[in-house]
Structure 1
């Protein structure tokens, strides 16, 4: 018996997935003068991202985490104009994300090691509950040599 997943079927056949989005960047210096950068992705979700009735698909939430973390790196210029690759994205699911709903995904640079950038992220629902957390590692592309 084949299992038809509503995430893929509904998202490609109608406009009830990602209804609205807004990305905000906070790029400041901390008390020691080091960069303190955070990104916030506000999303209005429809039923088209459900894996089960009324619950957002975990794969969709991983896309959200990759988007909020990667966008933070791009907006802060940490990729040095070369671009980045996601080399690790480790998620923990703590609570279902119910749909339709509004969520806030947050990303914060945790450390930079040469070409590697480590980013921590979370998804919080409108009740203030943490639903998903993630640790992402990106690596800066190498300049092409002739």
Structure 2
């Protein structure tokens, strides 16, 4: 769980849940679900290593970009979820994610769908290195008006060796899917010792 700023400050999930943008009835109902389990998204300062998530955690984690971020897992109701689990993110988005004034850029929508899909893929294997995106197809269904809070959900539909297939959606506060993705993520080959 994190709220990220340029100063790379972090807060616990209960503290982030009190963010003013998350004080909406639909979010309070969502967070009241006793089956959710908080997950921790820890910002890592950019050190030039192989895994930094600098784009998501540093570049976008600003007061006018991604203003607050909550992460949790819960049982999935999707019939094609092979492990019956989904990763969920609540993102409070400001105007710095806009393409057109008042509307989130399609590239931003794609980036966050890719990020959550890669995250659930990474959690599916006990490998230290995360998988790489092999393919990602995004369907844009409705504009995302900003500022806003969106819910992202991702679930695994297939596993085969180093390959993980993931579906993800971005929903608005009314539960309407505004964009959806199908992706294939591939883990690096393990070096033989």
**TM-score, normalising length: structure 1:** 0.80
Q: Does 1:42 align with 2:86?
A: no
* Aligned residues between the structures: 129
**Greater per-residue strand proportion:** 1
1:7 — aligned with what?
none
For residues 83 and 157 of structure 2, what CA distance do their matches in structure 1 show? 11
Misfit runs of 4+, over 4 Å: none
2:154 — aligned with what?
107
**TM-score, normalising length: structure 2:** 0.61
Q: 1:57 to 1:79 in 2, by over 3 A?
A: farther
Q: Does 1:136 align with 2:183?
A: yes
Q: CA deviation at 1:27?
A: 6.4
In angstroms, what is the RMSD of aligned CA positions? 2.0
Structure 1 residue runs without a partner (length 5+) = 1-10, 29-33
Q: CA deviation at 1:79?
A: 5.2
2:120 — aligned with what?
72
For residues 126 and 108 of structure 2, what CA distance do their matches in structure 1 show? 25
For residues 115 and 64 of structure 1, what CA distance do their matches in structure 2 show? 22
Deviations 1:2-25 (A, max 9, x none): xxxxxxxxx78x731110001112
Q: CA deviation at 1:136?
A: 1.0
Which structure would you say has the larger RCO, counting Cα contacts within 8 Å and 6 or more residues apart? 1
